[in-house]
Structure 1
Amino acid sequence: MSHAAVFRLLAPLVGLLLLLGLPGAPSTRAMVGDPDLRDVKPSRPRPRPRPRVPAPKPTPLPDEEPEEPALPAAPSPTAAASPLPPPTPTPPPPPSIAGSRPAAPAEKLLGDAQAAFRYGAYGEPPGDNAIELARKAGREDPGDGAAPLLEARAALAYEEQARAALDRHDRARARGSYERLAILYPSREAFRRQAKALRAPVIVGVWDWRIQLVIATHFTVVVEAGGSFRGTGGLRNATIYGSWKCVAPAERKYLVSWSHGLTDTVTLSKDGTKLEGTNNVGARISASRKGSR
């Protein structure tokens, strides 16, 4: 059968396919043997690119040493200089229980002053005695009358202590007490005079006093530590009072003033047993300590 006959048989079917537009229908050029398509080779579809697979990391062989892990980076100077967070504040202590509160300064000072008084430390040692501690307590609480009262009691007790030392002929102890009293109470002139008298050579005691003018007059003179004396005797056996003071300690010189107006200026001997001098009317004075002969 010739090509023409075949074409005539298939022509109606091809036309129907073309009208319907079905895929895969051959074109008329291909069916009739288009010379332009005879030598055209059918195109092949282009292969799709394969995805790139990352190459695996090489595993070190047994002879090779593994690489050391990288050290962490050093902190930057800015980070090191950054301020630290503020510390957490410490909570305040709980309120004290009633009865356990610390004593106020005035209460403590007054308690210390009372303890010093009981111990007998009335005016010494300096700064730690009943007089000074009570005085400090009074300054802390001026409205409390207990501190001034305790100070006054301590001052009286300290003065009595000094007098008792004189009665025992403990001159050094008495002098120290009067010197401290003169420092604690500078307005009390009697303390200063007594301390000064006790710094001088000793004339306290009982003396046979002889005044030689036209006739000799004898007195028994009792020289007291407070700067006073009394003399009994003379022509009328009268008692005469007076005062004394040391006018030149280095020279051991004393001024003895009688209440009747005469004043004796005498010097104490080195052994402390004799007094020699004159009075203001030129009479010669000589005295010897009783019991020294």
Structure 2
Amino acid sequence: MTSNINDVNKAQSPVKGFSLYALSIFMLSVTDASAKWLTTGYPIGEIVFFRSIFSFLPLLFVAYKGRITLTYKSQNYKANILRAIVVVFTAVTFFISVKHLPLANATVLSLSNPFFMTLLGLLILKEKVSNLHWFFIFVGFLGVIISVGGLSSGSILYSFIGIISAFLYAIGGIVTRYLSRTDSAITIALYTTSFLLLFSIFTIDYNWRMPNSYDLVIFFVMGLTGGLCNYIATSALSSIDVAKVAPLEYTIIIWAAFFGFFFFNETPNLYTIIGSIMIIASGIAHIHSTKS
């Protein structure tokens, strides 16, 4: 049975949309931590390759359980291709950033994307954003800027790359919101995963190496959570405004601090802590005002 744009994978209410997007952020944090671990021994192209290979698994499972035919048939091929390309560059720039920065710092920088998501949602999708919501988004973005103050001068370049990744991520979110009006979540995710795989194949060179059994498990976890994150986030954005779920991006800093401390022996500095508090506070306030 072929899926349509109103298939069972779409979130049916704002509450479910919020819940799905929060879950996708947790999945993304696991993906990021796995990538951080792998960048110490593997080239970025190889990491993207295994991420895309294992990301196909949740798509196949969802298609099987829902009796959905995986297809590239789309109402908007150009938008799907654009989103896929944007996601490829988002992943690459983030991997570069997280390789050279502590996980918490790289994650905080990525949290500038709600500002970009809200701005693009207003300009492109004509979504309504109140002055109060703009204030909360601004406070969160200011927290991102403050966190950069705790980095060394040698890390500024990778910080800038991290912000570029956040901007690209926001563009991907906007295109996803646009595509969800015509295409199913699984079709959108299929395009993205396929393009990630295609990109990685062109990066094959002598630097690639066969992962050991332990790293292969981490590759599997990274790909699985990455694939689930992509699909779940797409499902959430099919039923709720980008600006409303944008603050949920801030919850990733909690997961990043946890993974950074326990797996990489990283302790956030004072600037990162202050910036994170501002980010989380603004996110909670934004969510509360959205519900009221």
Specify if TM > 0.5. no
Larger radius of gyration: 1
Greater per-residue strand proportion: 1
Q: Which has the higher contact order (CA 8 A, sep 6+)?
A: 2
TM-score scaled by length of structure 1:
0.19
Greater per-residue helix proportion: 2
TM-score scaled by length of structure 2:
0.19
